[in-house]
Amino acid sequence: MTFRLGLTGSIGMGKTTTAGFFAQAGIPVWDADAAVHRLYAPGGAAVLPLQSLFPGLAGDAIDRAALRALIAADSLTLPQIEAVVHPLVAADRAEFAAKTVSDIAVFDIPLLYEKGSEAEMDAVLLVTAPADLQRQRVLARGTMTEAQFAQILARQMPDADKRARASHIVETLDLTATRAYVSALITHIRGRHA
């Protein structure tokens, strides 16, 4: 039976890098953000339902910037989008889990606690960093403003609350130390759940 490890953390905490270390170790990783990208891509399962809800979203794919603008303009938009997208993401995750034959699988879910997905996991690894480093990382990407960053943080559970709930915690201050932590955690899980 596959051990399901939830991987979560707020924006800019180092989830993508940490997930990459699991993948490099041969552990299959399901990525919620990648699933959303597939759903929004040409032919993706979310394209037609979202276009019917928001007729201004023309084209064969969903423009994420256009969605962000809709969300910023009307607070009622996000729940409508989530009602379409979250069941599709859950189905994608379930399909991945059903096909996985590895002893461990990682589920990279930014809103794991916010959406109650921890109930599907055997353990949760929280990826974290100090707030000033988090802000620096996010703004250095050049893809969002300070206001957009604040808006995303407001929708995410505070890091302290996530720390209180997580089975495992890694601070992503140093790549070498984070990679070593991932390796040790894989060994730990395999030792306890062999």
pLDDT digits (tens, 9 = 90+) for 133-188: 998 998 888 888 888 888 888 888 999 999 999 999 999 999 999 999 999 999 99
1: tokens are 């039976």
164: tokens are 């209180």
Provide φ and ψ at 141, rounded to 5°. -65, -30
Q: What angle do CA 44, 85, 11 make, to 5 degrees?
A: 105
Listed by start position, the domains of the chain span 1-28+102-194, 34-99
Neighbours of 46 (CB within 10 A): 21
Q: Out of 15-29, 64-78, 90-104, 118-132, pick the least confident.
A: 64-78
pLDDT digits (tens, 9 = 90+) for 18-65: 999 999 999 999 999 999 999 999 999 999 999 999 988 878 999 888
48: tokens are 């037609």
DSSP the chain: --EEEEEE--TTSSHHHHHHHHHHTT--EEEHHHHHHHHHSTT-TTHHHHHHH-TT--SSS--HHHHHHHHHH-TTHHHHHHHHHHHHHHHHHHHHHHH--SSEEEEE-TTTTTTTGGGG-SEEEEEE--HHHHHHHHHHTTSS-HHHHHHHHHHSPPHHHHHHH-SEEEE-S-HHHHHHHHHHHHHHHHHH--
CATH 3.30.70.270 describes domain 1-28+102-194? no
Provide the pLDDT for residue 66: 87
Asked if residue 193 has pLDDT above 90, the reply is no
